[in-house]
Structure 1
Amino acid sequence: MSVFAVFARLVEHLADLLTPLFHASAAAAAIVLFTALVRLLVHPLSRAAARGQRARAALQPRIAELRQKHAKDPQRLQRAVLELHAEEKVSPLSGCLPSLLQMPAFFLLYHLFSTSTIGGRANGLLAHRLFAAPLGGRWADALADGGPFGPAGLVYLGLFVLVAAVAAFNYRRTKRMMATGPVAASTGDGAQVPGLGAVNKVMPFMSFFTLVTVAVVPLAAALYVVTSTTWSAVERAVLYP
């Protein structure tokens, strides 16, 4: 049995358990619950990433001293910075792990609701809906079937409003954090990474790109993205006060 067939059965079982509460939208509720479980499992890594970020920030004064000390020897500076991170047991990549570990779950959902057959059988999950919108459909399908204010279009409109609210919250937080502690990154010789200034200007707007994702992926995958993004906003507000 393929991993997709196993995952499909998991979603179906969750939907069956939630049917008394959510009726026709039970599969959508199962996806939200599944997303919350994934984020709960990854949460310890998110906490570790937050500790790592605080530790890296605490090392900045010492790194500045190393830059002054080895200003004429870039290779020695790079070794000294790596040794300092190793000594303090701080990994510069720890913040990437929570996002990387969530990607398989997203792609599972994307594939599951983008194919008509699973394990040689018809994919029954495609018949499930969130209110009037099929979980395997996309925003373009909703626009073609009733327009932006049709029954399915209104489901997407609600998701867009939620994503925009979360993105605006993240935008304000990112702007405030960058104003109080601008992102600093450098190459081994202490020079600023090329293009970092442009990245810093774009960074506060990154959350709004989620709107594009929600518009183009199947609704089931969009629910995963919306739930995960909302979780991230709350989690970061707690871990990075």
Structure 2
Amino acid sequence: MDPFAIPLLAAILDLAYSGLMGLTHLLEPVAGAASAALAIGFVTLLVRALLIPTGIAQAKAEQTRARLAPRLRELQKRWRKNPERLQRETMQLYRDERTSPFAGCLPVLAQAPIVGILYAVFLHPVIAGHPNALLDETLAGVPLGTSLVGAIGAGTVDLTTALVYAVLVLAIATVGEITRRVFRMPQPPADSPVPSIPTGILGVLHFATAVVALFVPLAAGLYLLVTVCWTLVQRIILRRRYPVDA
């Protein structure tokens, strides 16, 4: 069953479609054939601007975690042989500080519905009983509703599609690598009781967005590219406002 057949979700989908089409027509005299792609970029910037409070919350959470790190290490030393007590004491510490170890996930969770709607808009050939004209929009000749994995599976991938996706994925991966290097998580000493997170796993997590871009429509991939660029710039600005002591 298509969840967007539910009246409320169908109305949201139609509203998103109408908004994108209206913005596309508005930008067409300036951007021409790339107007829909530019519209997606503007929508992404608008969404991220609305989510600035969650970005601030994330920066404050990172600062708080850095400040609590010595106390967390002490808890690790004291209760290392009692995992249940360690968990209780750790969560109590976060409660006393009025924060959460999951506070940094807010921007990702807040964006999930937006990405889902954008994904759905470019998957449905018919929206609210009318043809989805956005599927006719392209970027460099590649339809915005095309996914690289889908095109490969259907045997319709061509050189242009491959090149556009190569640029998209490379750009996302590059920004992810810059973000990883600039905001590298400090690892505890080798003799510390605090378990460290393997840097290889962190690298995989940073490149996950580039992998996702291979599976979603090009329109959603553009959203991901703009949002990772915004995230990098926003984190640099907020890190200066809420510094984290190394």
Give the TM-score band, short-chain normalised.
Answer: 0.7 to 0.9
Q: Deviations over 1:170-217 (max 9, x none)?
A: 34335xx23xx2279xxxxx9756xx645x431123232333222221
Q: 1:160 & 1:76 partners in 2: Cα distance?
A: 44
Q: CA deviation at 1:85?
A: 2.0
Residue 237 of structure 2: SS of its match in structure 1? helix
Q: Which residue of 1 aligns with 2:127?
A: 118
Q: Which residue of 2 aligns with 1:23?
A: 32
Question: CA RMSD, aligned part only?
Answer: 2.8
Q: CA deviation at 1:219?
A: 0.8
Q: CA deviation at 1:167?
A: 2.8
Q: Which residue of 1 aligns with 2:4?
A: none
Q: CA deviation at 1:20?
A: 1.6
Give the AA of the match of 2:31: F
Q: Which residue of 2 aligns with 1:219?
A: 218
Q: 1:158 & 1:137 partners in 2: Cα distance?
A: 15
Q: Deviations over 1:87-143 (max 9, x none)?
A: 222222211111001011111011110111101111111111112111111225389
Q: Please report the TM-score for the alignment, with normalisation by the length of structure 1.
A: 0.81
Q: 2:44 & 2:103 partners in 1: Cα distance?
A: 22
Contact 2:147 2:215 (C-alpha < 8 Å) held by counterparts: yes
Question: How does 1:6-21 map onto structure 2 within 5 Å?
Answer: 6-21=15-30
Identity %: 33
Gaps of 5+ in 1: 185-189
Q: Which residue of 2 aligns with 1:97?
A: 106
Shift in alpha-carbon separation, 1:77–1:154, aligned structure 2, 3 A: closer
Q: CA deviation at 1:71?
A: 6.1
Question: How does 1:168-183 map onto structure 2 within 5 Å?
Answer: 168-174=177-183, 177-178=184-185, 181-182=186-187
Question: How does 1:88-167 map onto structure 2 within 5 Å?
Answer: 88-140=97-149, 141=151, 144=155, 147-148=158-159, 150=160, 152-167=161-176
Contact 2:72 2:90 (C-alpha < 8 Å) held by counterparts: yes
Q: 2:73 & 2:193 partners in 1: Cα distance?
A: 12
Q: 1:220 & 1:54 partners in 2: Cα distance?
A: 34
Q: How many residues matched?
A: 227
Contact 2:36 2:138 (C-alpha < 8 Å) held by counterparts: yes
Gaps of 5+ in 2: 1-9, 241-246
Q: CA deviation at 1:14?
A: 1.1
Q: 1:64 & 1:146 partners in 2: Cα distance?
A: 52
Return 215-224 or 203-212, whichever deviates more: 203-212
Q: 1:9 & 1:162 partners in 2: Cα distance?
A: 29
Moved over 6 A (4+): none
Q: 2:94 & 2:170 partners in 1: Cα distance?
A: 42
Q: CA deviation at 1:77?
A: 4.6
Contact 1:109 1:220 (C-alpha < 8 Å) held by counterparts: yes
Is 1:58 the counterpart of 2:67 in the alignment? Answer: yes
Is 1:234 the counterpart of 2:233 in the alignment? Answer: yes
Q: Please report the TM-score for the alignment, with normalisation by the length of structure 2.
A: 0.80
